[in-house]
Structure 1
């Protein structure tokens, strides 16, 4: 039974690899599919749920019309079967999706930082990064030290001392 499952998975992977235009200098999709399936089977050692989920994940990412780069890199050999078999969904994502995720992370960090600042809103300072005047200032004096003003841009999260 596992032989039949493996052969079916190889057929589906080969079909996914042939789902778009073939880049110049690419290898045989059937060979590439067999190498990828071997790498996945070699790592998981069975045709159980994890194996099938890993195959499904690779199929979805290789067929994704918004991510032709993954398929092309694999076909021309920039990504080895062993690398592709172990890649996380984040690593397989298209460049646009990676950039969007990075922006979400940065926005979340900025939002968390903005929530922690207790200061006075001001437009007296201009942010060097985004050139806006939407800032929060916080004055700190420690003992006999002079007054220090910390400023944070409420738009981009840039921080500086004034």
Structure 2
């Protein structure tokens, strides 16, 4: 590590700490075992990303977090509030989300956009 990165001061200090933490982590015995058995070459340690050093359990948790974030990102839109004040004209349920937006001039009231949670029916009113 010293030959490749130099002394442990400055910008490379975090890399040294990351490697040492992952090698000593009691929740990550697989990484230590892979290094001791030679599956991960010592020369390659400095090139490993934190994801590569993580335990299988941590990798699975990270994957789930990424999938959830992607799912949330795909369905992101205007923030919506949930209410039972609106009745769906299609299915008659009162489980709806809504948001308001100023679509006309400032002296006009805001437009309310409503979506039925049950049947995904959309409508708006002023």
Scaled by the length of structure 1, what TM-score is found? 0.45
Could you tell me how far 1:74 is from its partner in structure 2? 0.5
Pairwise mapping of residues 10-159 of structure 1 onto structure 2 (< 5 A)?
40-116=1-77, 121-122=117-118, 136=120
Cα distance in 2 between the residues matched to 1:45 and 1:81:
15
Cα distance in 2 between the residues matched to 1:109 and 1:41:
39
2:8, 2:16 within 8 Å by CA — same for their partners in 1?
A: no
Cα distance in 2 between the residues matched to 1:137 and 1:106:
27
Measured on the aligned residues, the alpha-carbon RMSD in Å equals 2.5
Whose relative contact order is higher, 1 or 2, with alpha carbons under 8 Å and at least 6 apart? Answer: 1
1:41, 1:51 within 8 Å by CA — same for their partners in 2?
A: no
1:61, 1:93 within 8 Å by CA — same for their partners in 2?
A: yes
Compare the two structures and name the one with the higher helix fraction: 1
Q: From the superposition, tell whether residues 49 and 108 of structure 1 become closer, same or farther in structure 2 (CA, over 3 Å).
A: same
Unaligned 5+ runs, structure 1: 1-39, 124-135, 139-162
Could you tell me how far 1:93 is from its partner in structure 2? 1.0
Aligned length: 87
